Structure 1
Amino acid sequence: MMAQPRFAIGEIVHHLKFDYRGVIIDVDAQYSGSEAWYEQVARSRPPKDAPWYHVLVDGAMHSTYVAERHLEAGDSSQQIEHPALGQFFDRFSSGRYHRRGMN
């Protein structure tokens, strides 16, 4: 049985190892990247059968793909800055981002 994701699209998170904030733009119930990427990048070998998240990194131009065990709830009192925010979200309220076309 797969674990339920702890975080949802639009939530602000903090990366425990690399100390950055970001906002979740997509959730995979389990790892869906390539074996080569996992071998090269996921050095701590996080579990593949737990949730993974696509995250826009605050103050950067890129996004990351992160295992749930490396994330915690982030400071949601401040918005993040990322040039792609508008592609995914149309507003920020109550400490989270809201997807385009969703209430």
Structure 2
Amino acid sequence: MSQVRNARFQIGQVVRHRIYPFRGVIFDVDPTFANTEEWYESIPHDVRPAKDQPFYHLLAENAETEYVAYVSEQNLLPDESDEPLRHPQIPELFEDLRNGVFRFRYMPEH
């Protein structure tokens, strides 16, 4: 049985990819891989991450576009650039940014 590690990053934290040129804000965390096998197999074998680590859902952006990314913990680093993020969904989920972490927006129940 594999041991689940504690997540190194938190919801609202601004991070960047270790290899590819994109960054974003974390909006959800899976304790281990929870995407499709097809998605996993589409990752080139030489850079394919282990499944038994936290995976993060990001509101991500690169120089050209904004999107949602699913990234393993081993491929993330804290983003210390202080550059503003432009992803259009950030204001829907988060409020002010303090010390590299966005505060989750309060959502009243209907």
Normalised by the size of structure 2, how large is the TM-score? Answer: 0.83
After superposing the two structures, state which structure 1 stretch, 41-50 or 92-101, moved more: 41-50
Contact 2:56 2:71 survives alignment (8 Å): yes
Matched, 1:63 2:80: no
How many angstroms does 1:76 deviate by? 5.5
Per-residue CA deviations over 1:27-66 (Å, capped at 9, x if unaligned) read 1000000101110136422111100001111353211000
Q: Which residue of 2 aligns with 1:18?
A: 20
Normalised by the size of structure 1, how large is the TM-score? Answer: 0.88
Structure 1, unpaired ranges of 5+:
none
Q: How does 1:1-103 map to 2 (within 5 A)?
A: 1-41=3-43, 43=45, 44-58=47-61, 60-75=65-80, 77-101=82-106
Aligned length: 102
How many angstroms does 1:78 deviate by? 3.0
Return closer, same or farther for 1:6/1:42 CA change in 2, 3 Å cut-off. farther
> 2:72 and 2:100 mapped to 1: Cα distance?
22
Larger Rg: 2
